[in-house]
Amino acid sequence: MSKVLLGMSGGVDSSTAATLLLRAGHEVTGATLIMHDIHERDAAAAKAVADVIGIPHLTVDMRVDFEKFVLSPFVSEYENGRTPNPCVLCNGYIKFPALLKTADSLGCDCIATGHYAAIGSRDGHPVITAATDKAKDQSYFLYMLGEDILSRLLFPLSGMTKPEIREIAESLGLPSASSPDSQDICFIKDISCADFVRSRSSGEIKLGDFIDTSGKILGKHKGISSYTVGQRKGLGIASTAPLYVSHIDTESRNIILCREEKLYRTRVYAENCRYFAGKLPDVPFEASVSLRYTKKPGRATVTAISEDKVLIEFSEPQRAPAPGQSAVFFDGDDLLGGGIISYSE
C-alpha cells in the first residue's frame, strides 16, 4: 500500500490508529512532535507502543515553533481579554505542516493522525468531514488545514467509536489501552489556565473593576486574563441574580457583567478566515456554525466582508460568542471553513 508517517502521542487513539494502518497493509513509521517539555513523556509512551507493534518511531523537536506560533499568542490573547483556542493554531501552523515536512524527508506517501475526523470530497477538492462518533468528532479544530495537507492525510479512526478503539487496544495488549482521554490544553498540567497565563505574563496584571451594564462598580477583579465571555464561576460578586461576563474592556480594564439573557447575540464577526477550497466564496452562503468546540451549531448566513473577514448572521441568538474562539462553518458533515471571532452584537 503506502508509506505512512503517523503522528503518535502515546495515547490510545494514535496507538490504535497505528494498528489499523498496519492491518490495511501500510508501511508505518510513528512520529512524536515535542511541542513542550511536557511532551517528552508522551514520546516515551509512544515509543513503548511502537516497540510492541513493531514499527519504527522518531521524535521531532518543535519547541521553538510552538513557542512562537502557539504559546506566545495564547498568553498574549488572554492578556488582551480574548479566549484563544491553541489546538486550532497548533494544527494549522505546527502539527500537520511538521508531519508533512517530516514525511517528505522520509519518502512517505501520506501522513495520518488519531483524530476523530474523516476526509471526503466536495466540488473536486478534498474536505474534512465529521467522524462517525459525533461525541468525539474533532473536525472543529481542523479548519486551517490546506489542500496540500488534506490530499495526503489519513484518519484511520474516522469510522470508529471510542469503545471500539479501546477494545482493539486491549485485545492487542497495547500499553496505552487504559490511558485517560487527553485534556483540552496539552501543555497545561496541574495548574489552572489563569495561573499559567500569569506565570508567563510579560507585564503587569491588568487589574480593574467589575461593572454592570449601567456602569455601576460591583467589585474588583483579579486581572482580565483570568476571565472569558460567558463565565459565571469564580467572579466573587454577590448578586440577587446570577451574573456572567458580558464583555472585557481592554482599554479601561473593566469587565462588564450581565444577566444570562443579555449574553445572546445574532451577529458575529470573524477574521483570519480559511475555506475548504482555499478561496473566498462568491456569494453569502448558508451554514451550520459552531462558536465553540462543545457548542451545538446554529444555522446562519455567512457573508464575506473582505478576503479574510466575514459577518455571521444567526437565525437564532447564540450564547456568549467569545472573541478569540473559532467560528467554524459546516454543511451537514462537511467542514467548509472557519475564522477567529473578533466581536459580536
Give helix then strand counts, H and E, for the chain. 9, 17
Could you say which of 108, 110, 186, 193 is catalytic? 186
Decide: 271 and 308 in contact? Cβ < 8 Å: yes
Could you say which of 87, 90, 110, 273 is catalytic? 90
Q: Which residues contact 246 (CB under 8 A, 6 or more apart)?
A: 213, 229, 256, 257, 258, 262, 263
- What is the rounded CA–CA span in Å between residue 51 and residue 44? 11
Q: Which of 137, 140, 184 has the alpha carbon at shortest distance from 157?
A: 137
**What burial class does residue 207 get, using C-beta atoms within 10 Å of its C-beta: 0-12 exposed, 13-18 middle, 19+ buried?**
exposed
Decide: 97 and 149 in contact? Cβ < 8 Å: yes
- What is the rounded CA–CA span in Å between residue 62 and residue 47? 18
Q: Which residues contact 216 (CB under 8 A, 6 or more apart)?
A: none
Decide: 74 and 201 in contact? Cβ < 8 Å: no
**SS3 annotation, 104-142:** HHHCCCEEECCCCCEEEEECCEEEEECCCCCCCCCHHHH
Residue 181, helix vs strand vs coil? coil
Strand partners, 314: 300
Task: Report residue 68 as a C-alpha cell.
Answer: 512562537
Which helix (DSSP H) or strand (DSSP E) does residue 198 occupy?
helix 193-200
CA atoms within 13 A on the CB side of 232: 9
Catalytic residue list contains 258: no
The arrangement of strands across the sheet holding 208-211 comes to: 217-221, 208-211, 254-258, 244-249
Active site residues: 90, 186
